[in-house]
Amino acid sequence: MGEKDRGPSTTAVHGGEPDVRDDRALTVPVVLSSTYPFADTAELVDYMEGRRTRPPEYGRYGNPTVAAAEAKLAAVEGGEAAVLMASGMAAITTTLLAMLRKGQHLVLTGDVYRKTRVFARDTLARFGVEVDVVEPTVEAVAAAIRPTTKVLFTESPTNPYLRIVDLDGLVALAREKRVRTILDATFATPVNLRPLAHGVDLVVHSTTKYLGGHNDIMGGVVVGSAAMIGAIREQLGTLGAVADPLGAFLLVRGVKTLALRLARQNASALALAELLERHPAVERVWYPMLASHPDHALARRYLAGGGAVVSFELRGGLAAGTRFVDALRIPKLAPSLGGVESLVEQPALMSYYELSPDERAAVGIREGLVRLSIGIEDLEDLAADLQQALAHL
């Protein structure tokens, strides 16, 4: 069996790792150094001219522990190369700055992460990049593409309504129009979705979420072809949003249990979504593996599982959501997702607090909306906790 034929857990544990390390360590060593000296001038010249492979001379250009994490992330995503950065937003902003220049055009689909939209509309616009935000359909994207369009940036599943895009359709359109495709697959994970296998050019993850999996690190990664990742890495060396070695070590450790954690999260989230959908206090549930989800057919086509996030709207609006959240005993009231601890938030009071109710409605955020990220706690305990919190309504 070749490495490409291995299952997700085998790849997560062994992918991107040498059979035996030079120092014989079983796990990735943590290299805490900002500078890497040369033995002499001859070694320096050999390195500069590409005749010798060794760690870069300075930490902003690379680190052995970070490189080990990048190799593993490339393996689990099925890409040629990966570049790890300090956060998911660092990965997005650095990539877009590397790929776009004044006078070019970017197409975003409307449900991409809010800060991605803010960066595109505010920062890229100041540098002369034109931006259109459109519905996540092939037809809407096709109508938005111009001769100057260079990048299509989309996300699947999206936050908070877990919308699914038609990857094959978007990729075919982008290739016809010679447009590069970038997919933020943070909510999908490499276990539930393999975007590169569908022809996507670059995949972005916030490694803070599922990949790290323990709510204890920050990071972001871009995976794709060696040539494209090399260009992004050059941009990273200038912008400086580099990953730290200890965080990279913890990320490698987290990735090794990704498939195990996600199997439980997929199963628990689906069971709890079904529980919520049956409850009279719940107006609507958004979970892609429910037949009621608007993109259920696409989810069945593209996803191996629905992931940990369940979004739902409670009857009674914001007040009902607050009573429910405050009554929960297991999930913590906090942002983020994909970790071993269950988390809960009301988007109206967290991500969109500064907007008025009318402004929130205009961007699709309902007042009674609650977003749950299911951890790895026992399903029976989580179900009982949801039931007792719903009883407060």
Task: Find residue 309's DSSP bridge partners.
Answer: 373
Question: Which residue in 113, 161, 210, 302 is the catalytic one?
Answer: 113
How distant, in Å, are the alpha carbons of 93, 116, 221 from that of 119?
A: 7, 5, 18
Whether residue 13 contacts residue 256, with contact meaning beta carbons closer than 8 Å, is answered with yes
Spatial separation of the C-alpha atoms in residues 180 and 289, rounded to whole Å: 29
Is 113 in the active site?
Answer: yes
Question: Which residue in 184, 201, 295, 385 is the catalytic one?
Answer: 184
Q: Could you give phi then psi for residue 269, rounded to 5 degrees?
A: -65, -40
Residue 23, judged by CB atoms within 10 A of its CB (0-12, 13-18, 19+), counts as: exposed
Whether residue 215 contacts residue 340, with contact meaning beta carbons closer than 8 Å, is answered with yes
Spatial separation of the C-alpha atoms in residues 387 and 275, rounded to whole Å: 9
Spatial separation of the C-alpha atoms in residues 290 and 303, rounded to whole Å: 13
DSSP symbols for 192-209: H--GGGGT-SEEEEETTT
Helix intervals (H) in the chain: 8-14, 41-48, 64-77, 88-99, 114-118, 125-126, 138-144, 167-176, 189-192, 226-239, 245-255, 258-278, 296-302, 317-327, 357-362, 379-390
Pairing of strands 343-345, 369-373: antiparallel
Q: Three-state DSSP class for 187?
A: coil
Is 184 in the active site?
Answer: yes
What length is written for the chain? 393
Question: Which residue in 72, 194, 209, 233 is the catalytic one?
Answer: 209
Q: Give the pair of three-digit tokens for residue 55.
A: 């760690």
Is 209 in the active site?
Answer: yes
CA torsion through residues 295, 298, 302, 304, sign: positive
Question: Which residue in 60, 114, 121, 177 is the catalytic one?
Answer: 60
Is 378 in the active site?
Answer: no
List residues with catalytic annotation.
60, 113, 184, 209
